[in-house]
Structures are given as structure tokens and as C-alpha cells.
Amino acid sequence: MNDQRSRIAERIASALPKGSYVNLGIGIPTIVANYVRPEDNITFQTENGILGFRGLEVGDNPDPDLIDAGKQPIKLLPGGSYFDHGLSFAMVRGGHIDVTVLGAFEVSIKGDLANWSDDPRGILGAVGGAMDLAVGARSVLVAMTHTTVAGTSKLLRECSLPLTASGVVTRVYTEYGTFRPTGEAFEVVEVCEGVDRKTIVENTAAPVTFAYQ
């Protein structure tokens, strides 16, 4: 599972536009910063009030007071800054974030995002700042495993959980491939190495099309 998470994060890092401002959510998104190349000039923002950081590297000494939104230790880059929640969310709501990378419980073919639940019988999680990020960022990338622990697809025709935002997801990255919600289906734009089309179709509870023959 850790290898899967790392590969998902690495693929997303390679897809980020050069020179962009990127917010990373909790879960798999937090490790995307570990795979970005310095020459790509990506500036990371975290909703708890930091701009300009990277993931820790071998030999770095973690500072317990310097963490991202997922409580992971990070390293401030030269020129990086700290600020309060008010300014952080002004950046998000003002449209100043190019890309946000979020985790999810479910995504629909319409690009609806569900990444929280108040059901005491199952998965839990507060909506937090995800609702602001989902509508404030110019592009929303989802990083998640393709299925639940029980083997149930997270890519659906319709989300069953409360929506964080509707029609916002640009791309979904899983261990099987990269998917684009079209409104009619999930279009597969990339198939991961070692995965075949049959596996994707059988494990996706929604129509699937392929962007290439």
C-alpha cells in the first residue's frame, strides 16, 4: 500500500504545471511534495498557513512546530512564509491557488467530490477546508486508492456520501490509472504499468471509456 501511495503521488508531481501554486490535502496528497523537482518551480501552500515548502529529505531534522495540514513535518524553503488562517483562506477563496490535490472517499462521473462523512456507522471525517479548496482552486486533482479496504469501487455513477463540491474534479489518480470524469463515464487517460483494461473495468462501479485504442 505504501508503494501504491508513493507511485500515485509521484505521478501527480510530474503532472503539476511548472511555476504553479499548489495546495496539498491530507493523506496521499501530502507526499506529493516529496517528488517535485526544484527546476519545476512549484510553490506549495498549506491551509494551516505556510507558503513555500518541500517534504523532508534524508538528513533533514524535523521541526515539530513546522507541519502541513496533514500534520506531516516539512521544510521551509528560502523565501517561504507563515501567515494566519484568514490569509490562507483568502488565497484559496480568491482564486490564487492553481491546483489543489485532495483525497476522496468517492468521485462521480460528473466530477462530484465526496471526501467527508458524518455517518457514525462507517467512515468519518470533517469537511474542513476541502469545500473551500474544491471550489476555489482552478484545478482539482484527486489522489486515492481505487477501491475501499472491502474492495468497493470509489469511482461511481453517483456519490452516496455527502458532497464536498459538485462537478469540480479535473482528474482522479489511483493505483490503476488516471481518470477524467466526463459526465457520462470515467475516461481513462493513463493506465498504470502492470494493469490491464479488464482490471479497471471490473473494479470501477461506473462506465469506463479509454482515451486511446
Torsion angle of alpha carbons 91, 96, 99, 103, nearest 10°?
20
Q: What are the angstrom distances between the C-alpha of 69 and each of 48, 52, 100, 102, 208?
A: 6, 14, 13, 11, 33
Residue 35 in grid coordinates: 517528488
The type of residue at 148 is T
Residue of 10, 39, 47, 57 marked catalytic: 47
Other beta carbons within 10 Å of 121: 6
> Active-site residue 47, yes or no?
yes
Q: Provide the 3-class DSSP secondary structure of residue 143.
A: strand
Residue ranges of alpha helices (H) inside 70-112 are 85-93
Half-sphere exposure of residue 35: CA atoms within 13 angstroms, side-chain side: 18
Catalytic residue numbers read: 47
